Chains A and B, each alone.
Chain A
Amino acid sequence: MSFDVVITTDRSMMTNHHGKEFIGFFTTAPPVGLPESVWMWLSAPKPRVDRLGRPVEAPYGLRKVEAKLLEAGINAAIVDPDHLGRHLRHAKVLMVGHHDYFAMNSPSVVWWAVTGQEPVNRRSFLRLMRRPEIREAKRRGLRIIAGGPAAWQWLWNLDYWREFGVDTVVDGEAERVIVDLVSRALNGGELPAYVYVGFEDAPTIEEIPVIRGASVNGFVEVMRGCPRRCRFCPVTLRPVRYYPLEKIEQEMRVNAAAGLRHGVLHAEDILLYGARGIEPNPDALLRLHTLAKKYYRSVAWSHVTLAGVKYAQEKYKLITRITEILYDDHQDWLGVQVGLETGSVRLAKMIMPGKAAPYPVEKWHDVVEDALSIMHEHRIVPALTLILGTPEEREEDLQQTLELLDRIKDYRSLVVPMFFVPLGYMKDKRAFLMDRLSPLHAEIMRKCMWHTLNWGKEITFKMYLRGPSRLPMRLVMRAFFAYVERKAREIEEWLRSGGLAELQHAAEEKRAALATAIYRA
């Protein structure tokens, strides 16, 4: 059986990360203290595939593209990268997608800048595109279309664009444009170089197809867009749309039929599912979680906001009510990614005025602490992300972030510092590549490191990797933690003995090289 359109991505994406989506973060780093092959096994094992090389679970974004093309009668399939050869002999179009093609997003760019080594997601993608079977098919006339949330990175990697022979890059929600583009590619027609899908072309809920095959770790989107309007986030550029429960159930049924027993509910702020503005809709949320538990033994959230947690609990006791639905013999905790972003009220007003709503942004520290306290009590584990190097950042802003980190040290969480990447309304600003690294940045990174190591061990061994089947992963993680702690102490000692000045100097020197490597301009 052959396909006209083959959809794929590299191993760092085409994997279920051992059924633990948080382990996917390891694909954003270089292989620290381990051979790359071991690092890849640890973070991105090969998925189960059928006899045609189609993965049982595939990235959700690729599933949406596949479904849209199938709906239009186009013979398309997602194929694992290890099985491309036989399909590319017949395929006319190859579509690739990624959330970080060239490791330009955070946290990849942080690990790259700090270690000076390319993260494995980038290495893996470049290896994929240099495979002889792709080159051979390209010589025969294969059309290549690239898309996904990291599509913008091709603008800064024109030599790779040229080297790989990419015909078209599509940036944005693709549902309204992709069938036309692929039809033109199949018919040998002219293709545009670049398509940026604007707000006006965002698909309606009816135009968004139901996935036809299972998504990685049972990932299901429940809404698109976000009303909070943070200026650094591209999602705010899209209209807010909620999936009806019937449509969500159809996707959960697809995942359950493939044998998945765990699911991730995806939204920029899950507590806004069905909301009017930022006022939660308790009935919609309770029905959503009840539905999820009908199909999945355990459920995670992709994202939630701290203000959303505090408000939903204080006004409706929603955190208690939702965890009462979720927690049973199969699940007694919940993981989620949360934007902490900054401890600076001044910066918060500038870059995320709606993040604390309905509370005043001046109360940001109280909002953060109250929300983390609620999450701690309800065994909700946040991976908090902080942005360093925001344009206009001052010393006083970093001081406030340090104060906030002190206030939250007793709450079970991970804190990951991220370097500012120009996206959303701040697309025209300058990225932070450690060239403006100050002692306060270093201190924030040091605090985050120890916070994450201390809580990370408890979360990993007491919550995340329990049970006999997780023993090999636990052993690897124990060795990894021991290695990172030893390294962390060495780095602290080095910083105390004048290492910071050396680092600043190296960062200044490295900036040009990094900017060239990362932005390739």
Chain B
Amino acid sequence: MSSIEVLVEDGVDVGRVLREARLSRAGRVVLKVRAQDAPSAVERLREHLSDTYPFTLIVEVVR
């Protein structure tokens, strides 16, 4: 199962990353977000998390 890891920084289009991951048939996508805590990381990505994906989507906090 292929896996994609992306560091979400300013300028990264998360929607595009996820659309491309869907097309590439990735098995897992890990989004690493610089944030103070888990809820802050999720808040930053919430609009993208309110969707359905064939792959497993993981949000990690980078402090």
Contact = CB atoms under 8 A, between A and B. Distances in A.
Q: Decide if the interface of chain A is mainly helix, strand, loop or mixed.
A: mixed
A154 B33 CA distance: 18
A509 B61 CA distance: 38
A193 B52 contact: no
A194 B52 contact: no
B7 interface: no
Contacts of A166: 38
Interface residues of B, number: 26
B58 interface: yes
Contacts of A167: 38
B1 A427 contact: no
Nearest to A196: B57
B49 interface: yes
Interface stretch (A65-73, A197-205, A373-381): A197-205
Contact of B39 (A162, A422, A427): A162
A291 B22 CA distance: 42
A215 interface: no
B55 A158 contact: no
Interface in A292-314: none
A190 to B, nearest CB: 7
B38 A194 contact: yes
Given A192-B58, A194-B58, A155 B42 contact: yes
Interface residues of A, number: 31
A355 B33 CA distance: 41
Contacts of B50: 152, 155, 422, 427-428
A254 interface: no
A177 B1 CA distance: 14
30 contacts: A152-B50, A154-B42, A155-B46, A155-B49, A158-B42, A161-B38, A162-B39, A166-B38, A169-B38, A169-B42, A190-B60, A192-B30, A193-B38, A193-B39, A193-B42, A193-B60, A194-B49, A194-B57, A194-B58, A196-B49, A196-B53, A196-B56, A198-B54, A198-B56, A199-B55, A200-B56, A201-B55, A201-B56, A427-B50, A428-B50
Interface of A: 152, 154-155, 158-159, 161-162, 166-169, 172, 177, 190, 192-201, 234, 237, 422, 424-425, 427-428
